[in-house]
Structure 1
Amino acid sequence: MEYKQDIEKRVEKKVEYYVKKVLKVIAMIILGIIFLLLANYVLMWLWNWLMPEIFGLSTITYWQALGIFVLAKLIFGFGFGDDKGGKKSHRKKKHGFSKKRCGSLRSDFDKWKHYDQFWKEEGETAFKAYVERIKNENHDTQ
C-alpha cells in the first residue's frame, strides 16, 4: 500500500512539473507575440513621426510596418545582439569560459579602482622622482 502511494506521489509530481512547463511555454509564446505586436506598433509610430518629416516619405499603416519589420529581420538577421542566434554563448559554455575561470584576472582589475586616488596622493611626485633618477643615471654615464 505504501509503495502504491509513493508511485502516486511521483506521478503527481511529474504531472505537476509538465503542466507547469507547458504553461510556461504557452505564456512565453503569448508574451513573444505581444512583444512582436508592440515592436511593430513602435516601428510604425517612429516611421510616421520621423520619416515624413526628415525624408518626405508618406506615412505607413500597421501592416506595412509589419512588412518592413519582417523585411528588416530577413536582411539583418534574427539574432538579438548575439551572433548566429546564440551559438556564441553556447560556444563559451562549451569551452569553459566562465566567471570562475576568469576569477584571477578579475581580481587584478579590482586593484585598479585605487589607481586615481594613488596618483593624486603619491603618483605624480613618485613619477617626478623617477624621471630625475633616470636623468641623473643618464648624465653620469655620458
Structure 2
Amino acid sequence: MEHKKEFEKAVEKKVERTVKKVVKVIAMVILGVVIFLLANYLLMRLWNWLMPDLFGVGTVTYWQALGIFILAKLLFGFGGGGGKSKGGSSHKKKIKSSNKCRSWRRDFNEWKHYDQFWKEEGEEAFKTYVRKIKNENHDTTEEN
C-alpha cells in the first residue's frame, strides 16, 4: 500500500512538471507571436511616420509592413549572431583566445620600469640602433 502511494506521488510530481513545461512553452509561443505582431505594427508606424516625409514614398498598411518585415529578415538575416559553430560555443572561443595572451599579461608588470629605462639608456640605445641601421643601409646602397 505504501509503495502505491509513493508511486502515485512520483507520477503526480512528474505530471505536474510536465504540465508546467507545457504551459511555459505555450506562454512563450504566445509571447513570441505577440512580440512579432507588435514589432510589425511598430514597423508600420515608423514607416508611415518617416518614409513619406523623407523619401516621398506612400504609406503602408499593416499587411504590407508585414511583407516588408519578412523581406528584410530574409535579405538581412534573422540576427542571433551564430549560436554554436564547429569549434564549440563562442564563450569557449573567447576563453581560448584570452589564454593566448597570458604570457604577455604575466610580463606586464615589467613595463612599469619602461620610463626609467628610457631615461637612463633608451635614447642613447635608440640613437646607436639608428646609426647601425643607417650604416647597414649605406652598405647595401653602395653594392647596388
TM-score over 0.5 (shorter chain): yes
Report the number of matched residues. 131
For residue 19 of structure 2, what is the aligned residue in structure 1?
A: 19
For residue 98 of structure 1, what is the aligned residue in structure 2?
A: 92
Whichever residue aligns with residue 80 of structure 2, its letter is: G
Alignment of 1:1-142 (within 5 A): 1-77=1-77, 79-83=78-82, 86=83, 89=84, 91-93=86-88, 98=92, 102=96, 105=99, 108=102, 123-135=114-126, 138=129
Higher Rg: 2
State the 1:123 CA deviation.
Answer: 4.7
Call closer, same or farther: CA 1:103–1:45 in 2, change over 3 Å: same
RMSD: 3.8
SS at match of 1:98: helix
* Identity over aligned pairs, percent: 48
Unaligned runs of 5+ in 2: 136-144
SS at match of 1:38: helix
Deviations 1:60-116 (Å, cap 9, x if unpaired)? 111111111122223333x32324xx4xx254547x9628954972994xx59x99x
Distance across 2 between alignment mates of 1:58 and 1:100: 47
Distance across 2 between alignment mates of 1:104 and 1:66: 43
Deviations 1:35-84 (Å, cap 9, x if unpaired)? 1011101111111122111110011111111111122223333x32324x
- Scaled by the length of structure 1, what TM-score is found? 0.68
Unaligned runs of 5+ in 1: none
For residue 139 of structure 2, what is the aligned residue in structure 1?
A: none
Whichever residue aligns with residue 57 of structure 2, its letter is: L
Deviations 1:118-138 (Å, cap 9, x if unpaired)? 98x865444444522514754
Call closer, same or farther: CA 1:43–1:127 in 2, change over 3 Å: farther
